Structure 1
Amino acid sequence: MSCTNPTCFFCTMKEQNIVIRRSGIKKCFKEILSIDEQERVLILSTLWKISMNQPEDPEFPSLGIFKCMVSLLHKSINDKSWVLDGQNIYIPYYAAHIVGSYTMNSFDFAEKAVESGVIPPLLDLLRGKISWVEQRVAVRALGHLASYDSTFETLAVHEEEVVKLTMRLASRCCELVYNEFVAIKDTNLRVNYHKNLITRGVGGLEMENRKAEEWAGQIQSWSLHLLNCFAIRGRSLDLICNQDFLKDLSSMWGGLVNHTSPSGIGLIRILCYTQIGRTKVSESKEVIECICNLSRSSDDWQYMGIDCLLLLLHDMNTRYKVLEIASFHLLDLIELRKLGERCKLGLKISKALLIDFKKGKSSTKNPEIDRRLKEIWVTKVDKNRRERSMCDEKFEEKTVLVNLIKQQGNHSFWLGDIETAVKKYTEGLKLCPLILRKERIVLYSNRAQCYLLLNDPDLAISDTTRALSISKPTNSHAKSLWRRSQAYYMKGLAKESLMDCLMFINAFVTADKGKHAKIPYYAVHMIRKLMDSTWFFASAKLKLSNETNSSSDCNSSNEEFTKDELAGLYTILEEPGNRKDNDATKREVNRYGKKKDSFMALSI
């Protein structure tokens, strides 16, 4: 049917005459508040799709789309009855999202947006004037505006409030989304427009929960990005370096849902580039332990943990605050050659640890630290020097002797004499030339298996890390990954255990070269347990279950809108039809092996 509305936005979009078309669009933007409510939401939905798919197209920004969005945001925030009328509740979400999409990659668009006055209404949304769904898109848009120097300065007028609000949102978003959405088991009691935006109006409880987890992770990631924009400019460091927030940061993990975001460790590394940041980080034992655990993991951000420790060790004001724990962890990484695109990491670690080491003399007041530093010196300098001058005959003799000692260790292991096996593997490692990497990997990994049986996860982690550091490529030796995963599980470090278990499965499948290998059942079982422990909402669920009164489960940041007022609204599709679900959410393993295979046994 032909449209009879002379000011119809969709008809204007089809206009062939570019002058008439642009004039009509501009007029529509100016008169957006007087348009019929249902048509207005459809227009916003269309603009949202266009902004997502064509964020660098200058047409709409040049015709006043930002002033249009500002007028809609102000109306939504200040006129409660209007925003709750029909489908208007969707408007603040779409308006803030459109601002964020157009300012994502364009400095010119960002300046236009700021000149149009987008910052005040976005701040109102960040304050929680409506709900967490609007906070999500507000912090995203503000993060893009903070990425450019000139628009950052305009936002920085509200610096203290923005930083405090964003820190709070980063720390609370998990609990906020869980309490106000995921914990509500009856889908009919969930806020309708939240469900519709999250799942595009389709899918049941499982789909809603999965997408809510993804959105909560995005709130945290975009909050950290906004804080990064301040920290990287040396702004508000005293606020960001609050000890409680640093502890929260150390537990913020990109995980499987937001696997491209460095999360908390990314911001901690930025802070470690500053004097005040290094001082504050070094004062928190909990944060240092988290960084150290990350440095000995197979997480994609392992190198960031190493970077933080190196920065702390090179600063003489923080060096001796972290040396004891850092030397214990970094000692296992001194032979690390390559990690991603970073080369000679082991050499950098050794130099950082040996800055003030003096051969034959105590360089610290702690004999254990001196022992570790001496071990680094022996491995990286003395043993290397001796081996370079070793003749071929002596080298062959040592190789034969090492293999014999390894077989003796294996024999003791199978007889159940684990302590003797440990001694044999240790003897073999002392004799084994550094160049025999494969033999040393086996000795380290076998000794780690013994330590697991002796219930010593710390030594097991140390040995498996050494084996993984000299494997090619790094972190690829399957049995060491599995053993370290078990050791981390014994220590209650679920995230580190999960990453190693996933890497083990990957190595297992890769080694089979696509011959339809069945993943060992014990690895699948471990994955299932760890996925529950590392679920983004795990801590929020535990906290809620421990509360004596869960009936007050409402949005503490919602100053103007209640759940009842937000509920019972219409369905609007939020995502474009061609958008794909995050592949990272499909990593759960569901194939079982029939029996426990040789990966539980020693290496050959």
Structure 2
Amino acid sequence: MGGVEMESRKAEEWASQLQCWSLQLINCFAFKPEFLPSVCKPEFLIKLPGMWGGLVNENSPAGIGLLRTICHHKLGRGPVASCPGIIEALCNIAQSSDDWQYMAIDCLLWLLQDPSTCHKVIDNAVPALVDLAEISVLGDHKKLGDSILNVLQECIQSQGTGRNSLSNRTKEQIEELLNSRQRLKWEKSMPKEDLHIKQAAALVVKLEGNSLFSSGNISGAALKYSEALALCPVRSKKERVVLYSNRAQCHLLLQQPLSAISDATRALCLHNPLNRHAKSLWRRAQAYDMLGLAKESLLDAILFINECSQSNDPDLSLRQNRVPDYAERLVKKQMRAAWLFREAAIKHGGVHCEGDAGDIYGQDTDDSEWETASESDIGNDGRDDMGADDDDDDGAWKNDGERKDKYDKPLMKEP
């Protein structure tokens, strides 16, 4: 019943379920220190971040759950820290919309707190954790951002004891975060008039950035948004969401996906509710797509579509279909790329090979996923708290229809 397609789907569901059950069984053994050497084989560990329950078994932590159990024990942290690919994958999961995001953060924090592994992972882990430091609550985890800050502060302090050797860049990132928290304390005692002046100054610079963006000066716009962030009070979270998200869009157009992921993640962490700022989700989905990280891109794109479908924006309510076509295409592409049997299908010449069913970047497709400025204005969650007179929470997206052909498509064709 249902033919070959239904049989294939059921087979995939069962294979995914069996994988999750197997990982859960191994997880039980991983709680026992005597079994950890057998579990912590490099060739097995490196595959764990890619083992996930998929959309069918979303309630299973799968590979990341096993990694968390391994990292909880000192005997397990050593082998994990010795695999740079695992640390990179943990950072990607931590900066994603994965339901098990907190598990990746736990792993990174435990690795940093262990003196024997800290020096191996600190330069790779710190950039991701700094971006996540504004998280207040993540599921049952309260004050997760404060926990991140405390661990990073310990890393700075331990440098003086000779336990860790921080690169200049890593040290700068941690100190920037600490200075930001200090600014927040100062602002609490600052007169309201002074805060309003800073807000107004940041708004002026932001509008200058919007103007530069509209004229096609993307690099100049990014610099203006950075300047506005330096002026904007730390407590003005809604405005900082907009500024980070705007700058993420600039990084996308400048072909800088890592910087785009960083800024989009910061915007999503500042936003209330967490990980629900639609434009930042879409921008990060595109950035992960540029890096070939299908699962992370897929999860962000799905959440973006969810935000579209639930939007109360009056402009969207006039549309028959609230889900943009470009978002559907990206989801389909990433579902193929993250397909459980994809490698086997490619190896044996199956239908789910590279390029199957076309590529959303194909030249025959007029609506690329870059053409999202006007289409993805799905609400005003990031509306200015400065009393700005922008109709949209993101002025850099205005009049996008005039800009699409100017630099969106040409930028995609450049190397």
TM-score by length of 1: 0.57
Tell me, in whole angstroms, the C-alpha distance in 1 between the residues paired with 2:344 and 2:33.
32
Note the C-alpha offset of 1:434. 1.3
Match of 1:532 among 323, 336, 340: 336
Structure 1 unaligned blocks of 5 or more? 1-201, 547-591
Distance 1:331 1:263, change over 3 A: same
Note the C-alpha offset of 1:599. 4.2
Tell me, in whole angstroms, the C-alpha distance in 1 between the residues paired with 2:150 and 2:262.
20
Q: C-alpha deviations, 1:247-304, integer Å up to 9, x for none?
A: 1212101111211111100001000111111001000011111111000000101011
Give 2:169's aligned amino acid: E
Tell me, in whole angstroms, the C-alpha distance in 1 between the residues paired with 2:12 and 2:234.
46
Tell me, in whole angstroms, the C-alpha distance in 2 between the residues paired with 1:209 and 1:423.
50
What are the equivalent positions in structure 2 for 1:343-382 lying under 5 Å apart?
A: 343-358=142-157, 364-380=165-181, 382=182
Tell me, in whole angstroms, the C-alpha distance in 2 between the residues paired with 1:259 and 1:410.
39
With 347-356 and 276-285 compared, the bigger mean Cα shift is at 347-356
- Please say if residues 272 and 312 of structure 1, whose CA atoms lie closer than 8 Å, have aligned partners that are also in contact: yes
Tell me, in whole angstroms, the C-alpha distance in 2 between the residues paired with 1:472 and 1:341.
16
Tell me, in whole angstroms, the C-alpha distance in 1 between the residues paired with 2:348 and 2:141.
42
Do structure 1's residue 476 and structure 2's residue 276 form an aligned pair?
yes
Tell me, in whole angstroms, the C-alpha distance in 2 between the residues paired with 1:275 and 1:596.
46
- Please say if residues 17 and 53 of structure 2, whose CA atoms lie closer than 8 Å, have aligned partners that are also in contact: no
Do structure 1's residue 523 and structure 2's residue 322 form an aligned pair?
no
What are the equivalent positions in structure 2 for 1:588-599 lying under 5 Å apart?
A: 598-599=374-375
Note the C-alpha offset of 1:307. 0.7
Note the C-alpha offset of 1:203. 2.4
TM-score by length of 2: 0.82
- Please say if residues 520 and 597 of structure 1, whose CA atoms lie closer than 8 Å, have aligned partners that are also in contact: no
What are the equivalent positions in structure 2 for 1:86-125 lying under 5 Å apart?
A: none
* Residue aligning to 2:235: 435
Distance 1:411 1:391, change over 3 A: same
Tell me, in whole angstroms, the C-alpha distance in 1 between the residues paired with 2:166 and 2:100.
33
Tell me, in whole angstroms, the C-alpha distance in 2 between the residues paired with 1:393 and 1:597.
35
Match of 1:285 among 69, 75, 84: 84
Q: C-alpha deviations, 1:116-159, integer Å up to 9, x for none?
A: xxxxxxxxxxxxxxxxxxxxxxxxxxxxxxxxxxxxxxxxxxxx
Distance 1:268 1:390, change over 3 A: same
Structure 1 segments of 4+ aligned residues over 6 angstroms from their partners? 359-363
Q: C-alpha deviations, 1:350-407, integer Å up to 9, x for none?
A: 1111104259989734111111111121112x21222122111101111111111111
Match of 1:603 among 394, 397, 404: 394
Do structure 1's residue 395 and structure 2's residue 395 form an aligned pair?
no
Aligned length: 356
Do structure 1's residue 405 and structure 2's residue 196 form an aligned pair?
no
Tell me, in whole angstroms, the C-alpha distance in 1 between the residues paired with 2:321 and 2:234.
33
Note the C-alpha offset of 1:542. 2.3
Do structure 1's residue 240 and structure 2's residue 39 form an aligned pair?
yes
Note the C-alpha offset of 1:467. 0.1
Tell me, in whole angstroms, the C-alpha distance in 2 between the residues paired with 1:479 and 1:325.
27
* Residue aligning to 1:298: 97
Tell me, in whole angstroms, the C-alpha distance in 2 between the residues paired with 1:367 and 1:597.
37
Tell me, in whole angstroms, the C-alpha distance in 2 between the residues paired with 1:523 and 1:451.
20
What are the equivalent positions in structure 2 for 1:197-346 lying under 5 Å apart?
A: 202-346=1-145
Tell me, in whole angstroms, the C-alpha distance in 2 between the residues paired with 1:374 and 1:443.
21
Give 1:351's aligned amino acid: N
Tell me, in whole angstroms, the C-alpha distance in 2 between the residues paired with 1:444 and 1:507.
19
Note the C-alpha offset of 1:428. 0.5
- Please say if residues 521 and 596 of structure 1, whose CA atoms lie closer than 8 Å, have aligned partners that are also in contact: no
Note the C-alpha offset of 1:411. 0.2
Q: C-alpha deviations, 1:218-244, integer Å up to 9, x for none?
A: 110111111111111334211110000
Give 2:14's aligned amino acid: W
Do structure 1's residue 487 and structure 2's residue 291 form an aligned pair?
no
* Residue aligning to 1:459: 259
Distance 1:432 1:343, change over 3 A: same
Root-mean-square deviation (CA, aligned residues, Å) is 2.3
* Residue aligning to 2:185: 385
Tell me, in whole angstroms, the C-alpha distance in 2 between the residues paired with 1:531 and 1:356.
39
Structure 1 SS opposite 2:2? coil
Give 1:326's aligned amino acid: A
* Residue aligning to 2:298: 498
Tell me, in whole angstroms, the C-alpha distance in 2 between the residues paired with 1:472 and 1:337.
10
Q: Matched residues, percent identical?
A: 45
Give 1:265's aligned amino acid: I
Tell me, in whole angstroms, the C-alpha distance in 2 between the residues paired with 1:512 and 1:259.
28
Structure 2 SS opposite 1:300? coil
Structure 1 SS opposite 2:154? coil
- Please say if residues 353 and 373 of structure 1, whose CA atoms lie closer than 8 Å, have aligned partners that are also in contact: yes
Structure 2 SS opposite 1:318? helix
Considering Cα pairs closer than 8 Å and 6+ residues apart, tell me whether 1 or 2 has the greater RCO: 1
